[in-house]
Amino acid sequence: MSSDPPQALAVPRSVLDTDLYKLTMQQAVLYHFPDIDANYRFTNRSHNAQFSLQCAERFRAAISRKCLVRFQHRTRWLILVQGFSELALTPAEKDWLAVTCPYLTQDYLAYLSSYRYKPEQVDVIFVPGSETSGEFGNISIDIRGPWAEAIMWEVPLMACLSETYFQVVDTDWDYTGQEDFAFQKGKTILEAGCSFSEFGTRRRRSYTTQDIVMQGLMRASNVCKTGTFNGTSNVHLAHKYGVSPIGTIAHEWFMAVAALKGYENANLTALALWEDVYYTKATLIALTDTFSTECFFSELEKDPERVQRWQAIRQDSGDPFQFGPRAKRFYESLNIDPSRKTLVYSDSLDVEKVLRIKAQCNSLELPQVAFGIGTFLTNDFRSISSGLANKSKPLNIVIKLFSVNGFPCIKISDDLTKNTGDAAAVENVKRTLHLPCN
């Protein structure tokens, strides 16, 4: 059984208990699109996992009202009264952000200090699975509000739902050995000379799990003389453990820009708008697969100077072993030395896949490779009842941008199971971008 107290609702520990890219995108939205409204929707990709009515009610309670939150500090349980709407940036957090993330402006930090979650922006509905048994089913989540506000809900809501599910639906697990598992994973990756970050906030089993994982990874980093543990995407835990918060751009930036500005050369438009905010101030890492990686490379070939400015590209769907050779050909076609660019891999990674990708990149003479590892670190458990022989499967859940100002947002992934958005809109955009249609 989980060691979390059953009455603990899974609210974040801080307004910074989220991924860095939500802050960087929020700042960019305020800069370019301060008056745009947004709608986000939830998808449960775990076809065999159902939520219980109790799970839905606890999840809704965590969002909608003040609640008692109990957490362990050393040997005592401390009780605080808080909820989403009570979360606020502290002066210490603000000072730390100003030093650690100088690309976040003082105006933005002032905005973040005043930011409060508004539970009325989130609508949660339990959908029973059948007429004869209403105890289990699915959950509908609909988020609506100004884009600059609604953008902050995605990551903590997913973390909250995952933790709630593993508190009351799947309880056949515990924390035994989790720090050592994380240590061994980190040690193996580092000893292979790899550079990696922890990316597991969105689908973590619990806050406690991610905190334990960070302890194991920090221990591995301290004993290994090779490889690099770069930090964590979770800003709160980066602050807690004195490491760098790590982040790139999410698909929603490209999706929204395309919906608002047009799909022709949408990747170039999205990158140009991002540069307006971050060029010379932050590392520029381009996400390649919002409208397929081939579409991304085709567009970027038209603008070699922009390709020079962006230090890295990130692979997040499709076959990772096709990505390295394709990226090398792309850079070489523009007379750019591929060995000076960084490839970032972040799609469903585990230790074995990381080591294989690293070996391939070494053989391709691509020395600058980094990995963002998520669910494999923060939701890798075995079921107790099976004698630890079987996995306790993590949820596969997403919250994606559905529309901006009423315009539908779509994603055409290199993995067909990750396509999102209205089916008719997806096919229309495929024709616009000259991509294969169904």
Tokens standing for residue 56:
């839905």
R_g of the chain, CA atoms, integer Å? 21
Amino acid occupying residue 148: A
∠ CA 380-374-295, nearest 5°, is 135
* pLDDT for the residue 69: 43
Coil vs helix vs strand at 242: coil
156 neighbors 85 (Cβ within 8 angstroms) = no
* Strand ranges in 316-396 using DSSP code E only, listed in sequence order: 342-345, 369-373, 381-382, 391-392
CA distance 153 to 158: 8
Q: Where are the alpha helices (DSSP H) in 224-335?
A: 235-241, 251-261, 266-278, 293-300, 304-309, 320-333
Token output for 211: 């905190």
Tokens of 333: 């076609």
Angle at 176 between CA 171 and CA 179, to 5 degrees: 120
Of 159, 215, 133, the residue nearest 374 (C-alpha): 159
Output the pLDDT for position 431.
Answer: 86
Q: Which residues neighbour 437 within 8 Å (Cβ) at sequence distance 6 or greater?
A: 427, 430, 431
pLDDT at 414: 86
Q: How far is CA 107 from the centre of its chain?
A: 25
What pLDDT is recorded for position 1?
43
pLDDT at 70: 45
pTM attached to this predicted model: 0.93
Measure CA 8 to chain center: 24
Residue for token pair 């976040």: 104
CA distance 258 to 408: 10
Cα–Cα distance for residue pair 47/308, rounded to 1 Å: 42
List the domains of the chain with CATH numbers: 20-168+396-405 (3.20.140.10), 178-382 (3.20.140.10)
Residues 6+ apart with CB under 8 A from 391: 380, 381, 382, 383
What are the C-alpha distances in Å from 344 to residues 203, 248, 313, 330, 378? Answer: 20, 10, 6, 15, 19
How far apart (Å, rounded) are the C-alpha atoms in residues 209 and 212? 5
Q: Please name every residue paired with 52 in a beta bridge, in sequence order, or none if there are none.
A: 136
Q: Would you state the pLDDT for residue 432? A: 85
Average pLDDT across each block of 10 residues of the chain; the chain has 438 residues. List them in order.
59 96 98 98 92 94 64 50 85 98 98 97 91 82 98 98 96 96 98 98 97 98 97 98 95 98 96 97 96 96 97 96 98 98 97 98 98 98 93 96 97 80 84 78
Tokens of 131: 């007429």
Question: Residue 333, exposed/middle/buried by CB under 10 A (0-12, 13-18, 19+)?
Answer: exposed
Q: How many residues are listed for the chain in this entry? A: 438
